Structure 1
């Protein structure tokens, strides 16, 4: 009698046990394959950075991580589905939660979108000197949400990418050779050829000013009280600021040594003495 009852119990629960064991086994297989596939896809996307060197590595790491998480999400849904969980409601819940999070993080999402565009088009890269969002400095880091600058006085400036992408960007390091614009005024009584000769001598003696392209030294404007010269020497990008902040003093000293007057704004007052009788 007991043997008959045991046979009935085994026959009753055996199919269910086999089904659960099969589902568990399939779930483990799906999970292992999903984890392997997610890692493989991520590595493939990241490795593309070596092929497309004009794009930033950060972009490929971000896209690889996104692809991995998307695959893992589908894997988890497939695993739950093996155990009879209604995944349609879970997908709808995740979609609603994603929409709510997206609305709550509109600013962060705009920074993320701008970061992706900056990493794709690369208007600047790490170690470039740029002006962006009203700030100037050396780019030390670019991530998906912010760009970090280092100023000359060693301040760290963190700028949201949306502020940079939506405004003018000046990259001072884009071209290897830079022209340095400077302006100097001399008195009207001075000989412009002599002034040009003095300025050319200063530029020719400077070790970081290039001979090719040749410096540009010409009269630019006839002002009210001065003849203004535009002086544009060329140099390698790393010497730009050295030229900008040292050459004006050198030219000023050279003009003084050659007796060339540098005028300053002044006002002439004429007194008229009228004899009132």
Structure 2
């Protein structure tokens, strides 16, 4: 075989390799562009579908908490399906991928058992509805207004305007106090009297004066009774009732009224007293 023939054979092989690479490269580029198109269109369709579901539930006046939870669940599920579909388009065996995903999920579940517990607790909170967005609650050691109930955590805005995220499992495993569930609340306050004071007159005075405070309910009536007796004198339990929205206004106004009513009513100031007995040595 002469040199010219060898060159021609080498050129033909090189050209065939270039053509083969071009074919595979073009096919791969088409798949990449198709995958990008599928991802963009799929994401748009997912957003469109979630929007339709939320609008449909919104027209039925479904609770906003349920809307957010359902929207998050549908979005995560459809995104997983979209990723599996794109991998299947590239020729990846989806059954193998599903098995691998299940194995990875099991490993992650064992490592992140707390995270999955929060997810399950979030579902129970949505179903059982011990509270909803906008309620003022005390749960998981945090007191405040519920801003959002997420898949894993619940966002609570505390009275000092601090956003606090509490794990759903911690909330569901603990006692939950929902201050917004009932239409009215009882304000719990105390008034210390002197042992020399006429407690019956003080009780009647406080009942009449506190009942006149704005937003104090006439029914149930204001409770003023002796709670306990200490070394200083009787301690009165002062308990007006009000709607949830006016709780702090009634709380502070009642404190002021206790001070003003007892001070201007001529009642003696409560002072701690001690009896000292002195004995002279014989």
What is the TM-score with the length of structure 1 in the denominator?
Answer: 0.73
Structure 1 residue aligned with 2:29: none
Match of 1:200 among 196, 207, 214: 207
Q: How does 1:236-255 map to 2 (within 5 A)?
A: 236-255=243-262
The one-character-per-residue Cα deviations of 1:75-98 (angstroms, maximum 9, x if unpaired) are: 668868xx7x75443332222122
**Distance change >3 Å, CA 220–CA 74, structure 1 → 2:** same
Work out whether residues 178 and 237 of structure 1, in 8 Å CA contact, stay in contact via their aligned partners in 2: yes
Does the CA contact (< 8 Å) of 1:39 and 1:68 recur in 2?
no
Pairs within 5 Å for 1:203-218: 203-218=210-225
The answer for the alignment partner of 1:58 in structure 2 is 68
Of the structure 1 ranges 199-208 and 101-110, higher mean CA displacement relative to structure 2 is found in 101-110
List alignment gaps of at least 5 residues for structure 2. Answer: 1-37
The CA distance in 1 between the partners of 2:94 and 2:213, in whole Å, is 74
Where 2:137 maps in the other structure, the secondary structure is: strand
- Relative to 1, partners in 2 of residues 1:89 and 1:231: Cα closer, same or farther, differing over 3 Å? same
**What's 2:186 paired with?**
179
Runs (5+) with no aligned partner, structure 1: 1-30
The alpha-carbon deviation at position 178 of structure 1 amounts to: 0.9
Residue 251 of structure 1: how far off its partner (Å): 0.7
Superposition deviation, residue 255 in structure 1: 0.5
Q: SS in structure 2 opposite 1:159?
A: strand
The alignment yields a C-alpha RMSD, in angstroms, of 3.4
Match of 1:119 among 116, 126, 135: 126
Are residues 131 and 262 of structure 1, via their aligned partners in 2, closer, same or farther at CA, if it must alter by over 3 Å? farther
Distance in 2 (CA, whole Å) between partners of 1:38 and 1:49 is 18
Question: For residues 184 and 76 of structure 1, do their structure 2 counterparts lie closer, same or farther at Cα, with a shift above 3 Å needed?
Answer: same
8 A Cα contact 1:45 1:64, kept in partner: no
Q: What displacement does 1:57 show?
A: 1.4
Which residue of structure 1 aligns with residue 22 of structure 2? Answer: none
User: CA–CA distance in 2 between the matches of 1:156 and 1:248?
Assistant: 29
1:191 aligns with 2:162: no
Q: Is the 8 A contact 1:49 1:56 kept in 2?
A: no
C-alpha distance in 1, partners of 2:50/2:162? 36
Equivalent runs, 1:28-67 vs 2, <5 Å: 46=54, 47-48=56-57, 50-51=59-60, 53=62, 56-67=66-77
2:277 is matched with which residue? 270
Q: Distance in 2 between matches of 1:111 and 1:260?
A: 56
